[in-house]
Amino acid sequence: MKNYQVIWNGPVYTPSGIGKASREYALALHRQGVDVKVIADRGRARPDGGTSTRTLRILAKKPYTRKKPKVLIYHRLPHSLDIKKARAQFDYLLLNAVWETTKIPSDWFPNINRFDAVCVPSAQNKTAMINSGVKVPVYIVPHGVHAGTFTPSNKKLFPGLPKGTFVFVSVFTFQHRKNPELLLRAYWEAFSSKDRVALVIKTSGFGTRETGAWISSRIQAYKKKLGFGSKTAPIHLITGYTSPGKLKEIYRTGHAFVLPTRGEGVGLPFLEALSSGIPVIATGWGGHMDFLNSRNAFLVRYKLQPPAVSMKRAISRRFSHLFAQAGQLWAEPDLSSLKRQMRYAYEHPDICRSKGQQGRMDMQKMSWNRAGMTMRQVVEHIIRGKK
């Protein structure tokens, strides 16, 4: 069944994680032979991450078909869609959404239950949707990774590091949910300048105010507050826009990827790190647990708690209006557990290599084409069900 048109409405030109996922889903559907038209924001940043800009531009210029049923897949906040207007224009409405706590925001209702179905990328997300009161069908459509782009054969970014240096890599936006506080404290406490170790952090802030210099100053102020002097293990901070080519090199620089996140709908950097052949040190809760396990990762213990609890000591953007609503919980990773896992990885590079090889094999099964096929199957299931 391909006698329909999918209208993909999402931030396909933005360089963020959600932007990358949006364009990859749209392109994957297109590769499945689906008639896809893209509705995108104008004047936004160029896409990155191994996608075809030319194909996206072509899909954005396509006309609406008159003789086919039209399926809107809305990859934006559910309450931002005029449902009545959309119902008059499209035959089916699907929401593609992602969330990072145990409960979705209250302002997503009642619109979210006015869609025909909701697509989410992980089991944790599906549970959160259902427990929050979503009544329409919820389908898991997992993210993917380009195993031919993020590969162990990519060159390393820092070939000049001292011989024998064990490198931890972390890639995240500088926000409280990503838990930069715990990452920094664990690293400073677990290692010293005497250890042959380095931490490479690729991060960026939000808006023009949160520059690389601002992020660096926040980190230094936090370091001073904790009482650490100058003789700490080195950190290499990379901020701002990073090209797709450079991002591939950053992953390959590492012997282990580390991110003690408090909540992830998926965690694209985990997928990209594993595909690059390096193991992951991660919190044992969240959407990433669909593909992380003891064979490809070092999992950090945690407890679920209200997000507002840890926001009191945040050094980065909190987004409290989203993540501190009544009834929401997310993971608070254990400092001692994170330190032990980082130290264990450092002392056992052979185990890191083994886990990295397993991660690489796992990611070769998680292509974006697989995601596109799953999304197409959901669309056609919805169409058949409403006939």
Q: How confident is the model at residue 40 (pLDDT cuts 50, 70, 90)?
A: confident
- The tens digit of pLDDT for each residue in 141-169 reads 999 999 999 999 999 998 788 999 999 99
| Residue 47 banded pLDDT, cuts 50, 70, 90 | low
From CA 218, how far away is CA 221, in angstroms rounded?
A: 5
- Looking at residue 258, its pLDDT comes to 99
Q: Where residue 184 falls among pLDDT bands split at 50, 70, 90?
A: very high
Q: Cα 40 from chain centroid? A: 20
Res 366 pLDDT > 50: yes
Neighbouring-strand partners of residue 237: 201
Query: Cα–Cα distances in Å, from 11 out to 46, 120, 271?
Result: 11, 16, 21
Higher pLDDT, residue 184 or 387: 184
Q: How confident is the model at residue 2, as a pLDDT?
A: 73
The reported pLDDT for the residue numbered 49 is 42
Give CA angle at 200 (199, 202), nearest 5°: 140
Rounded distance between C-alpha atoms, residue 33 and residue 16, angstroms: 26
Mean pLDDT of 221-226: 96
* pLDDT for position 315: 97
- Type of residue found at 149: T
Distance from C-alpha of 201 to C-alpha of 234, rounded to nearest angstrom: 11
Is the Cβ–Cβ distance between 104 and 129 less than 8 Å? Answer: yes
Beta-ladder partners of 120: 140
Share of the chain above pLDDT 70, in %: 97
For residues 327 and 316, give the distance between their C-alpha atoms in angstroms, rounded to a whole number: 23
pLDDT of residue 46: 57
Chain segment 303-343, per-residue pLDDT in tens: 999 999 999 889 999 999 999 999 999 999 999 999 999 99
DSSP labels for 167-202? Answer: EEEEEEESBGGG-HHHHHHHHHHH--TTSSEEEEEE
Does pLDDT of 137 surpass 60?
yes
pLDDT at 377 over 90: yes
Give pLDDT tens digits for 271-300.
999 999 999 999 999 999 999 999 999 999
pLDDT, one tens digit per residue, over 83-95 is: 999 999 999 999 9
**Radius of gyration (C-alpha) of the chain in whole angstroms:** 21
Dist CA 368 CA 31 (whole Å): 10
The band of 240, judged by pLDDT with boundaries at 50, 70 and 90, is confident
Q: Quick one: 367 exposed, middle or buried, by C-beta within 10 A (0-12, 13-18, 19+)?
A: middle
Asked if 300 contacts 281 with a C-beta cutoff of 8 angstroms, the reply is yes
**Alpha-carbon 85 to chain mean position:** 31
Cα 201 from Cα 315, distance rounded (Å)? 15
Percent of the chain residues past pLDDT 90, beyond the cut: 88
Q: Say how far apart CA 130 and CA 138 lie, in whole Å.
A: 8
Q: Per-residue pLDDT for 387 more than 80?
A: no
- What beta strand segments (E) does the chain contain? 5-9, 35-39, 70-74, 92-96, 117-120, 138-140, 166-173, 197-204, 235-239, 256-259, 280-283, 297-300, 302-305, 330-333
Model confidence at 230, in pLDDT bands (50, 70, 90)? confident
d(CA 39, CA 36): 10
DSSP 251-275: HHH-SEEEE--S--SS-HHHHHHHH
Is residue 352 over pLDDT 70? yes
